[in-house]
Amino acid sequence: MSILRAVIVILAVVVFIHGYRGLVNGRVYVRGMYADKEKNPKFFWISIVLIFLSAVALFVMAFVAKIK
């Protein structure tokens, strides 16, 4: 495993943990502010979905992309 691939995997794990903690707490930090589940549920759920999709995209990039 190359160093770049390892960095991408670590970044994917960090993004996934960020989304998971936001999901558990009901509040996630995105775009310079907090998305609160109680105050604005639509923005919260869209943010959570985008965070998890970003983590999945990073995992796919780490294992599918041709990185030397």
Rounded to the nearest 10 degrees, what angle do helices 41-64 and 3-25 cross at? 160
3-20: per-residue pLDDT in tens?
A: 889 999 999 999 999 999
**Alpha-carbon span 7 to 15, nearest angstrom:** 12
Q: What pTM does this model have?
A: 0.87
pLDDT beyond 90 at 21: yes
Mean local confidence (pLDDT), 15-27:
96
pLDDT beyond 80 at 36: yes
In this structure, what token pair is assigned to residue 22? 């936001």
pLDDT value of residue 68 = 66
Residue among 62, 58, 60, 55 nearest 21 (CA): 55
Q: What is the dihedral of CA 6, 10, 13, 18, to 10 degrees?
A: -160
- pLDDT band at 66, cuts 50/70/90? confident
